[in-house]
Amino acid sequence: MAKTLPILHYPDARLFTKAKPVAAVDERIRTLVQDMAKTMYEAPGVGLAATQVDVHERVVVIDVSEAANELLVLINPEITWRSDERLVYEEGCLSVPGIYDKVERAERVRVKALDEHGKSREIEADGLLAICVQHELDHLDGKVFVEYLSPLKQSRIKTRLRKQERQAAA
């Protein structure tokens, strides 16, 4: 049975770790994918990067479908093309609970990745999927969406989340 994994919260330093490529898509990785999918659906969220559950390997799960029944698994993902057209979207993050703000990204991207069987595929994404792909790839590079916001907003968010953590621990 898949298990729910604890999610790291910003500004936890482990979120700033750059993930290493997966060397072999084996049972260990498939178990991680199952656990990450369960963690994402339970949260609930539309995406989750391994970095967020303190595993520093290049694994992402995404499901932007209405019924939450179209799991997309991206292992060693690479963006092969991004549109010049940009889109501003109000983002949130499971590692930055309760904080939402506008981020500008490419409107469409093409991404090449392995699936959970080690099979290579390339997909073109737009809309929320394109946003999510870029948001999750940033996590694998140790980047959290708040880093696109002004330094003042970042420091306010850090203060707010540290206070929340203290209250949750008390």
The catalytic residues are 136
Of 15, 49, 53, 106, the residue at the interface with ligand GNR (CB under 6 A) is 49
Nearer residue to ligand GNR within complex by CB, 131 or 157: 131
Let me know if 160 is exposed, middle or buried by CB neighbors in 10 A (0-12, 13-18, 19+). Answer: middle
Nearer residue to ligand GNR within complex by CB, 21 or 127: 127
Q: Which of residues 55-94 bind Ni ion (CB under 5 A)?
A: 93
Cα 24 from Cα 103, distance rounded (Å): 34
Q: Which of residues 84-113 bind ligand GNR (CB under 6 A)?
A: 91-95
DSSP H or E segment with residue 101: strand 101-106
Q: Whats the size of the chain, residue-wise?
A: 170
Q: Do 127 and 105 touch, CB atoms closer than 8 A?
A: no
Which sign does the torsion angle of CA 150, 20, 63, 15 carry? negative
* Candidate ranges 12-20, 106-114, 116-124, 135-143; the one touching ligand GNR (CB under 6 A): 135-143
Total binding residues toward ligand GNR, as defined by CB under 6 A? 16
List residues binding Ni ion (CB under 5 A): 93
List residues binding ligand GNR (CB under 6 A): 45-49, 52, 91-95, 131-132, 135-136, 139
